Amino acid sequence: GVVFDLDGTLTVPCINFKDMRRRTGILEGDILKVMQTLPQDRKVHVARVIEELEEDGRQRMRLQPGLLRVMECLDIHKLPRALLTRNSDTSARHFVSVSGHTFNPMLTRTNFPVAKPDPTPLTHICHVWGTDPRNVVMVGDARDDVACAKEAGCMSCLLETNLEHPLSRNVCPDVTVS
């Protein structure tokens, strides 16, 4: 099966992460993890900023060129597909309505207790599908996608669409697509 990231993978990158860091004041580290350590009032502020920027991204959402052909190929070969994103349920559902394609399961930051790069959501998808992780590929545009795949024992495919941070030597994708 194939597990996809959302923003920057299935869609053209549409969330301004530099603006998100500036507006949340979280300039270093994993924004979602840091947010959990903040006092409640700051946590609410950060969540509001993230949601505002995701809403802006939903309004500007465009499908990645070639996406519909990829979905057709997966359908022809009867390969399952899932969505694993750090975006919200709202953004994931919006993408499904725009693309016309379904993903099962669809794991988001709002419906699953942990997020990438933790491998737990990806191993959960493998369990739901009843398949060995070695038979699953994670497709994404960031080092968290590759790290998640590696830790879960899955193959990884990196789309070089908009890498915010260079990959470290210990995070090397199985396949890279430009």
Residues known to be catalytic: 5, 7
Three-state secondary-structure class, residue 176 = strand
Q: Tell me, rounded to whole angstroms, the distance of Cα 114 from its chain centroid.
A: 12
In this structure, the strands spanning 81-84 and 2-4 are parallel
Nearest one of 112, 146, 139 to 127, comparing CA atoms: 112
Q: Which tokens is 108 given?
A: 């988001």
Residue with token string 């809403």? 55
